[in-house]
A and B are shown apart, each in its own frame.
Chain A
Amino acid sequence: MTTVFPPVARATRRMTLFLAALALLGLVSLARPAHADLTLDITRGNPQPIPIAIPSFQGDNPADGQLGADIAGVVSNDLERSGLFRPIDPAAFIQDPAALRPIPRFADWKLINAQALVVGNVSARPDGQTHVEFRLWDTTAGKMLTGVAYNSPAVNWRRFGHKIADQIYQRITGEGGYFDTRIVYISESGPNLRRIKRLAIMDQDGANNHLLTNGHSLVLTPRFSPTRQEITYLSYAQGTPRVFLFDILTGQNESLGDFPGMTFAPRFAPDGAGVIFSLSNGGGSEIFTMDLSTHHVNQITQTGAIDTSPCYSPDGKYITFNSDRGGTQQLYRMNADGSNIQRISFGTGRYATPVWSPRGDLIAFTKFVGGNFSIGVMAPDGSGERILTNGYLVEGPTWAPNGRVLMFFRQTTDDNGGRGGSTRLYSIDLTGANEREVITRQDASDPAWSPLLQ
C-alpha cells in the first residue's frame, strides 16, 4: 500500500490556561451590574445563530499577522458551519483590530450587533514555536468568557483555529467542541461500472486531504480508533475481503488475520483494544470480536442469519447491529457477550447501520422504505424514532465526538449516461437542521469521524 500521509505533528503543543491571569483583566469590567452569561440553548430546535465578530488575530510582524488572519478565518469558518454562529463581515468593523487590547471598546461592537467578540494574538517564541492566545468577550456584559493560549509549530496553524473554535463553541453552547477532528472516508472516482475507491483522510472541514491507498484494491468502510491514530477498514488487497488495521503515523497496514470466510463491517471497541466485525459463514454472517493484543477471537452471534454492522455502546456494555433473522433487516441490541438480544426497530421498512452516539443517548441508523433511504436517530431502546434527512440514497451515519452533529453520504442519480450523478459527504445537526456538504475534491462515501485530536 502506498501511503502519502505525513505523520501528524507530534504533540508538542502545550496548552496553557491563561484563565487566571486573563480573568483579572475581565474583572475590570465586572463593575457593571450582574448579567447572565452569553449562552445559546441548543437543546431546542433551530436556535437563532449568535452574531460574533472575529477580527484577524494580531501579530508583531507581517508573517505573524498573516498567520493571525488565516487562523481567524479557520475559527470563523468552523463556527459558521456549525449553524449556531453568524460571523459578522469584517468590513462592518468599527474598532481597529490592532487596538483591541487590553480591553475592546464594547460600544463599537454592540453597534454592529456583535454579541460575542474574539480577540487573538500571534507571536513567535524563542524556541521556534508559535504562540497563539485568544479571549472571548461578551460585548453586552463587557465580560471575558474564556481565554486560552496554545504553543505549537506554525505548520499547525489550522489546528490552532480548530482548537480555539472548539473553546468558543463549548463556552457558548455548553456542548463539547468537534472542530479539531478528522474524517476518514472513501474517495471515489471513475465510471459507475469500474469505480476506483481509495482510503482518504482529511480535517473535519475538508482541508488537508490525503489519499492513503493507491486505488489498486477495492477498500470500504473505514473507522477511526477511539484511542489511537489508527483505522480499521475492509480491503480486497488479498483477494478475499478482509478487515485491515492501518496505523496513520507509521503507515503499517495489516490484516486482522485469515478466517474461513469474508471478514467485514469492522469497528473498534470503545477502549480501542479490540475490533468487532462480521464473518461470513455458510451463507450467513455472524458477529465476532478480536482482542488486538492477544488476537483472541470470540464469536458473539450464531443464527445463520445476516448479522452485521455491529457497534458498541460507548460504555462497552452493549452491542447494536442489524440482522435479517426476523425476515427483513432490523436493528437489534444485545449485551456485549451476546446475551439478551432484543429487537429495537419496529417501524415500516428496513433498518441498517446502527451507530451509537458517543453520548450514549441515541442510535443513528439508515432506513430504507418506499424506495427512499433516510438517516434517523432513536433511543437505545428503539423509542422516539426521528428522521433527519432522506433521498435516493443516504447511508452510513457517523457521529461527531460531541454527539451533536452527524456526517453521512448522499448519492444522487445520474441520467443513466453517467452524467450528473454524485456521491458526497454531508454534515447535519442532530435536530435535522443545518445540512451542509463537506467539500471533497472527488466523490466521497463511508465517512467516519475521529475523536477529538490530542
Chain B
Amino acid sequence: MRLRLLGLVATMTVLAGCHTAPSASTDNGGNSTGGAPSASLTPQQELTQQVGDRVFFGFDKSDISSDAQAILGRQADFTKKYASLTFTIEGHADERGTREYNLALGERRATAAKNALVALGVDAGRLKTISYGKERPAVDGHNEAAWAQNRRAVTVIN
C-alpha cells in the first residue's frame, strides 16, 4: 500500500508539475493514466483524491491564485466528464475574524471559485455556493499552518 502511494505521488509530480496548492498535493493521489478513473473510486473520491476538491486563499483575500486556477481547471474538466452532476462550492474562513464578516468572506470565496469555473465553461446552473464562515475548519489548530488550510473553497458533488 505504501509503495503504491509513493508511485502515485511520483507520477503526479510529472503530470501536475508544481502547480498544486500546498496541502492539496498531500491529499491528492494523482491519476497515473490521466484517463478513466480507477474502477474503485466514486466520483466524489475522484474529485477529492485526484482532481483536487479545494482551493486556498490568503488572509482576508478571495482572489484566485495561479495554483488555485490550475485546480479549478481540473475541476472544470471533471464537471464536463460528469455532465449529469451538480455541485456545491463551500466557502470557509479561518478563525481570525468575526463571525458575521467571515460568513460574508466565505461566501465571497465560494463565489470567486464559482466564477472561475463558469469562466472555464461550466454551466452556472450546476454550481451552488454556501458559506460556513469560520464554523467548519478543516484543520484543528491555532497557527498560520492551520489557518492557511482553513481559508478555502471546497467543491462537493450534490
Contact = CB atoms under 8 A, between A and B. Distances in A.
Interface of A: 191-193, 195, 197, 218, 220-221, 234, 239-241, 261-262, 264-265, 278, 280, 282-285, 306, 308-309, 322, 324, 328-329, 350, 352-353, 366, 368, 392-393, 395-396, 413-414, 416, 418, 446
B96 interface: yes
B74 to A, nearest CB: 23
Contacts of B130: 239-241, 262
B98 A396 contact: yes
Nearest to B96: A368
A218 B96 contact: no
Contacts of B136: 193
B67 interface: no
Contact of A328 (B60, B62, B115, B131): B60
Interface stretch (B6-14, B21-29, B32-40, B102-110): B102-110
Nearest to B143: A416
A309 B101 contact: yes
Contact of B99 (A193, A350, A414, A446): A446
14 contacts: A193-B139, A197-B135, A218-B135, A220-B99, A239-B130, A241-B130, A262-B103, A264-B103, A280-B104, A308-B100, A308-B104, A324-B60, A396-B98, A416-B142
B137 A306 contact: no
A387 to B, nearest CB: 16
Contacts, number: 98
Interface of B: 60, 62, 95-101, 103-105, 107-108, 111-112, 115, 130-133, 135-143
Given A280-B104, A306-B108, A308-B104, A418 B140 contact: yes
Given A309-B101, A396-B99, A195 B107 contact: no
B99 to A, nearest CB: 6
Given A322-B101, A352-B98, A193 B107 contact: no
Interface centre among B104, B107, B135, B142 (most CB of A within 10 A): B104
A220 B96 CA distance: 17
Given A306-B104, A393-B95, A195 B135 contact: yes
B103 to A, nearest CB: 5
Contacts of B131: 241, 262, 280
Contacts of A284: 104, 108
Contacts of B103: 220, 234, 241, 262, 264-265, 308
Contacts of A413: 142
Contacts of B138: 193
Contacts of B133: 220
Contact of A283 (B60, B95, B101, B112): B112
B105 to A, nearest CB: 7
A192 B137 contact: yes
Given A240-B130, A280-B131, A368 B107 contact: no
A450 B20 CA distance: 50
B142 A278 contact: no
B137 A278 contact: no
Contacts of B104: 264, 278, 280, 284-285, 306, 308
A352 B137 contact: no
A395 B99 CA distance: 8
A167 B35 CA distance: 78
Contact of A353 (B100, B105, B135, B139): B100
B24 to A, nearest CB: 18
> Counting chain A CB atoms within 10 Å of each CB, which of B107, B115, B136, B137 scores highest?
B107
Contact of B101 (A240, A352, A418): A352
A309 B100 contact: yes
A353 B98 contact: yes
Contact of A280 (B97, B99, B107, B137): B107
